[in-house]
Structure 1
């Protein structure tokens, strides 16, 4: 681990010598090197980053970073070969015992209770469609869910109220137009009579 720690200061100095932000690019480069990608993929990614930083000798800088990284890593931490995901999943499933493989045996009494519960629920689901229009539920313990009906009734009430308000507004507008028309006529008559008086 100490050898890997030696890589970080070296990378910071390297990025400073390239006149770039060592904090941003340093962590990004370290993340690429720590990934389980192949060496070629790492080189491609590093070339993409360094192309933004330097204009020439990109491959030289990439090779230098890769070599320093490889030499600073402990030998037991050599990259593990990437195994097939399906193979890993199969091994994982084999190692875990699944709870669904064991089947529980029920006593006669438990079977009767279980069947009674299942039959009660199946009757409920069969009768749900019939109960929609009924006001009282079959069992006093069960309460009918009226949420949908309440929401629909509230929506109907709002629509009716909006319709009535629109009708009132329409009537008021009509009255206002009539009043304006009447006032206009009165003004017109007044002007005529004033003109007539002036002529005399």
Structure 2
């Protein structure tokens, strides 16, 4: 994935600059979406959601362009190595072990009786144990569930959400700044008008 990031990120930065937006905030958010394990449709929906904040038209063209570039930058899966050698070695191993596996031991009559007695005693014990324990014991807590994949996915979701919130905050701040600038312009305009009006008197 490192090769994909190396080729893709500079392209994405240029793309976002051409769209006149903050490549730092939106770039990390878009990369997070693309690196996730979502389906292409889910990625497309997420990208459309982001780009709706940036562009007014040609959104689907921009989304397709980003997805196509990402696909072209992703490293191609290596072709599986020929398994003929492994198969041959496995066949040889099986042949060498075959004689040992096929020889069966013949039990004497006495050994057979002892064996049957042990088996019947064991089956009675296990039947009694099952009767006594109708409720299944909880699984051992010694085994801890491996949550690596879900932890990574949760961290990626959290990063995307954080980037989305940052983008939203920046958008709102930019909007406030624009409104303040507009208000200042209006105030300056009004001052100039009143100053001109006073001069005329």
Q: TM-score, normalised by structure 2?
A: 0.38
User: Which of the pair has more CA radius of gyration?
Assistant: 1
- Give the TM-score taking structure 1 as reference length: 0.38
The structure showing larger relative contact order (alpha-carbon pairs under 8 Å, at least 6 residues apart) is 2
